[in-house]
Structure 1
């Protein structure tokens, strides 16, 4: 069976867990207007008013007047008509129940239901939703309390499951994500949580996908936004990090010195059997020194005599 993955519900009648749970970061506000259902509500009101007016007009034509009974009948018929004709937005799906049992998923567009015997319990928003959640003062495996703030992007691919398998799937996603985050932090050390954030994201996504699939919800992505260590632990952790960096620097310097000593040994072995090569190397070093300092180099005559062949004349 192919999943229809379109989006997820971003609203709920009950307070969301991210509003009740303590957070380490603030929610991002984009300033962009949300879509509304004002047009669908206006359509329902218009249907109600039109049917009421039609019933009252019929009563006026048949009875020659509008009495209390006609008003009551007009209101009842208007309510039945308004509850039978619905507008479902493009991003929504209506879960229609008949006598309390699941009947069909309807929408988008104009949806008709039988009065009294059919009704739809919920409109499932199938757009992508972002749920913010956090884990405050959660202990890592090395017993360090951290505050972690994250966000999960999810969507409903099965309106039927989302309506029938879980009472409030929006809150359930937030609570499940928070519990999964706490469990993942408890299995890792502070260094793993801080340095292996991508692995933590992947682990959270895999676990949430497995748990939310039965509710008709698909997890698109999980992102850890912030990891905060308590202020009183920050100086000790900073000192430990500095000590670790100094140790690494000293080890690197020692390794470089060892490499240099090996190369010097090889060079000394090469120059040991060739005195003229040694003199040329010495002159080259002297030339480089003079070139960099811009001074004058005085070469002793005994040094230059080393380049004259035996029995030959000086140039």
Structure 2
């Protein structure tokens, strides 16, 4: 009997129950008469595991449902085949447990703020263990984070209140800045009477520039502005 090992595979050759050789791509004859041989093939291509509809409770007791995706690749065919019964299933279980631990350790608000980092947290938690059975966990991503209906309504109310509070804070800051600017201007004019008189002149000239205006200037300015047509 002959077995073909494809370009994206490794073949593990067993003879009488013992691993005797790791084979690259090619076609191999398997002895069945004088010895009991078999070739187990391991796919080395990256593959994606999808963890659908994981229901997990956050640290503040909010139950949510999410979907996670884990990208994995076999880096040690012998370890992957001999260390665990099902290396893909083991990665699935490890990611699932790490995901529950990560989500369960965060309150909902913190989780929503760190959603983009959650996948990397899970990947880091399982990476070393997975390498122990010959698998490299390349990436973990979280998508479709679904909140209960009533929690969505509450969260929307909180976000709306937060936006209003932020807008009010910005308005108060602008008012304080304007008041401070006026105070600084008043202080500067108080220290410089001549500058104050110049400002008064500018104001009077603008008023006098309007057709038909009669401007009476204060005596202290030492000027007279008559009627302008």
Fold match (TM-score > 0.5): yes
CA distance in 2, matches of 1:301, 1:313: 6
Residue 230 of structure 1 is aligned with which of 139, 148, 165?
Answer: 148
User: What's the CA shift for 1:308?
Assistant: 4.5
Describe the shift of the 1:169–1:297 C-alpha distance in structure 2 as closer, same or farther (beyond 3 A).
farther
Residue 254 of structure 1 is aligned with which of 166, 172, 183?
Answer: 172
Is 2:88 the counterpart of 1:88?
no
CA distance in 2, matches of 1:87, 1:284: 99
Residue 71 of structure 2 is aligned with which of 135, 141, 153?
Answer: 153
The more displaced of 204-213 and 275-284 is 275-284
Q: Which structure has the greater CA radius of gyration?
A: 1
Residue 30 of structure 2 is aligned with which of 85, 101, 113?
Answer: 113
Q: How large is the RMSD of aligned CA atoms in angstroms?
A: 2.7
Runs of 4+ in 1 over 6 A off after TM superposition: 284-287, 312-315
- 2:59 aligned counterpart, secondary structure: coil
Gaps of 5+ in 2: none
Whether the 8 Å CA contact 1:93–1:107 is kept in 2: the answer is yes
Is 2:194 the counterpart of 1:277?
no
Paired residues for 1:187-206 under 5 Å: 187-206=105-124
Describe the shift of the 1:169–1:306 C-alpha distance in structure 2 as closer, same or farther (beyond 3 A).
same
User: What's the CA shift for 1:114?
Assistant: 2.7
User: What's the CA shift for 1:192?
Assistant: 2.1
Aligned to 2:159: 241
User: What's the CA shift for 1:262?
Assistant: 0.9
Describe the shift of the 1:225–1:297 C-alpha distance in structure 2 as closer, same or farther (beyond 3 A).
farther
Gaps of 5+ in 1: 1-81, 291-295
Is 2:24 the counterpart of 1:103?
no
CA distance in 2, matches of 1:158, 1:313: 97
Whether the 8 Å CA contact 1:135–1:181 is kept in 2: the answer is no
Aligned to 1:4: none
Whether the 8 Å CA contact 1:135–1:182 is kept in 2: the answer is no
Paired residues for 1:37-116 under 5 Å: 82=1, 85-115=2-32, 116=35
Aligned to 2:215: 301
- 2:160 aligned counterpart, secondary structure: helix
Whether the 8 Å CA contact 1:194–1:227 is kept in 2: the answer is no
CA distance in 1, matches of 2:149, 2:211: 61
User: What's the CA shift for 1:267?
Assistant: 0.7
For CA contacts below 8 A with separation 6 or more, give which structure has more relative contact order.
1
- 1:302 aligned counterpart, secondary structure: coil
User: What's the CA shift for 1:280?
Assistant: 4.5
CA distance in 1, matches of 2:56, 2:19: 42
- 1:249 aligned counterpart, secondary structure: helix
Residue 139 of structure 1 is aligned with which of 52, 57, 66?
Answer: 57
In the superposition, the TM-score normalised over structure 1's length comes to 0.64
Is 2:129 the counterpart of 1:215?
no
User: What's the CA shift for 1:305?
Assistant: 7.1
User: What's the CA shift for 1:98?
Assistant: 1.5
